[in-house]
Structures are given as structure tokens and as C-alpha cells.
Amino acid sequence: MSIIVSSLSKIYDTQKAVDNISFELKKGEIVGFLGPNGAGKSTTMKIITSYLPPTSGTASVCGFDVQTHPMEVRRRVGYLAESNPLYYEMYVREYLEFSAGVHKLGKGSKARIEQMIEMTGLGKEAHKKITALSKGYKQRVGLAQAMLHNPEVLILDEPTTGLDPNQIVEIRDLVREIGKEKTVLLSTHIMQEVAAMCSRVIIINNGTIAADDAITKLQEVNSSADLIVVTFDKTVSAAQLNALPSAESVESTGNNSWKLLSKNADELRREIMQMALKNDLSITSMQTQVNTLEDVFRALTK
């Protein structure tokens, strides 16, 4: 396993920021790490990167304990913090050269720097001072720095903050490509990004793990009712649909289209078809919608 967290806790004075959590990540996984503000995400990531010591429990990266072998952990981890600390008075290449020196990349550093500049789309801005860059390009510099030493594990805290829609797609594609060979732990509040990049999510709430599973499974397990969207060729009244025994709620969305909530979707579909036949109606479309990732998140953290 690339990351192993076991019975991990962190206490600040009387506040338990992380409370006895455990999870594992293997090579080739891109895992979303989700939670409300103050849930313990950043604390956990700082412990994994050997930035903070845990109060109890253990964490290891590629077989190296974060407390007993912190330098070995740092060699294998690329970390983009949410605050993205940069030396603003340095030029982009100068900063990456400095970072390459910290990682002791040696003779291959210049080629690697140019590779990262191209990969993160910094080419047109590489001659500028970091302070002159937009927030989106500063974020790209942070990503280039995190990947510069070709780490086995990437920990990204809000990597698409400040990026425009086109840049977000580019970074999303980049992370997906990187995730084929590396382990990526991705923290973000943007659910669309998690759904687009990750197959698995870990949700933390009040310092404890609320869920850890594939996105599709979480959507199924946390669905207390199914939503059916149906469209008719003629006008249908709310009273007609509310009369269906399996319909728990009915909502019009216009243009003869309706949303119906039910705990028995199969039965409700049968009732809708019978009602349509009885009233000489044609159904132009009918589909069942599952919970979105946002629905799951809200249900587990509210």
C-alpha cells in the first residue's frame, strides 16, 4: 500500500481534530478526501506528509513511518497545500530550480523543470516573477513543484482553486494521467471534480470517517428513495400523480415533465404506465435518477 493510516488521532489542547481514523490507498488510485471545513482533512494530510506529528496511531507512506522516517516520506510525497506557499519574488524557473536543489535532483533537474513547465501549461509565464502571476498560474506553479521530484504519492489540497473552466479541465486531465502510475489523495469542496477524477471517496466528519467506498456504491447505499423523472405528451395534473400509491412526493418541472420520489421505483414506474394507459397519455421519457455525490456528502455530514 502507498498510504496506510491506522487508528490515527490528533488532539489540539482539548479539541480532537482527528479521532481514531484508519484507511489505506494503493498505487494507481485517485481518492477524493472530502469533509466540511474543520472536519480534519488538512490535519490528516499534514500528518501523512510528516508536517505534523500524530497524538496517537500511525501513518506510513510507501512503507516508511511518518514519525520515524520523515525524510524518506518526504522524498516520496508531492504536496500541494491549500495555501500554496510560494516565494513570490522568485521567477518561475528560479523557484523550480530552487525546489530541484532542495530535492537534490542533480544533473537531470533542468530537463525535469522544462517537463513540468510544459505539463502544467506554464510555458508563457515561466519568465515572470511569481508575484506577477494570476491565482490560477500560481496554482500551476504549486502543482509543478509538487510533481517536480517525481514522487510516488501526490497529496493535493484544493488543486483547482482559482482556475478558470478551461484550466480546470487541463488540470483534471493531468491528475487523471498521473493517477495511472501514482497514488493521489485529492481534497476539494468541488464535488464535480471528485466525480470526474476519483472512483473512490473518503468522507471525514467531526474527525471521524463517515464513509469510505466507491462513489457508485455510496450513491446506492445512501439513497433512501429513488427519483423518477417522467415526461408526458399532454398535460397531467399534480392530483393525478399524487394519487399514485407509490408516489411520496410530486414536483412539476414544466413542459409536462414531473419529478416523483418513491421508495419503490419499480412499482411507481408500473403505476405511472397504468395511469398513462388509462388516461390516453403517451410517455415521451421516463428515467430513474440516483443520488449525486453532493447528496451523499450532505446526508453524511449534516
Average pLDDT, 10 consecutive residues per value, the chain (302 residues): 95 93 95 93 94 96 96 94 91 96 92 93 94 91 93 92 82 86 91 90 96 88 74 93 91 90 87 94 87 82 80
Closest alpha carbon to 35 in 18, 52, 54: 18
Q: What is the pTM of this model?
A: 0.78
Domain boundaries, the chain: 3-215, 222-290
What is the dotted CATH code of the domain comprising 222-290?
3.30.70.100
183-187/200-205 β-pairing = unpaired
Residue type for position 218: L
Rounded Cα distance, 184 and 216, in Å: 19
pLDDT at residue 166 in the model: 84
Give the containing element (helix H, strand E) for 109. Answer: helix 109-119
For 182-237, the pLDDT digits (tens) are: 999 999 888 888 988 998 999 999 999 999 999 988 877 766 567 889 999 999 99
Q: Sign of torsion, CA 151 153 155 156?
A: positive
Rounded Cα distance, 78 and 202, in Å: 20
Closest alpha carbon to 297 in 198, 228, 230: 198
Q: Which CATH number fits domain 3-215: 3.10.20.30, 3.40.640.10, 3.40.50.300, 3.40.50.1980?
A: 3.40.50.300
For 241-260, the pLDDT digits (tens) are: 999 999 988 989 889 999 88
Give the containing element (helix H, strand E) for 24. Answer: strand 15-25
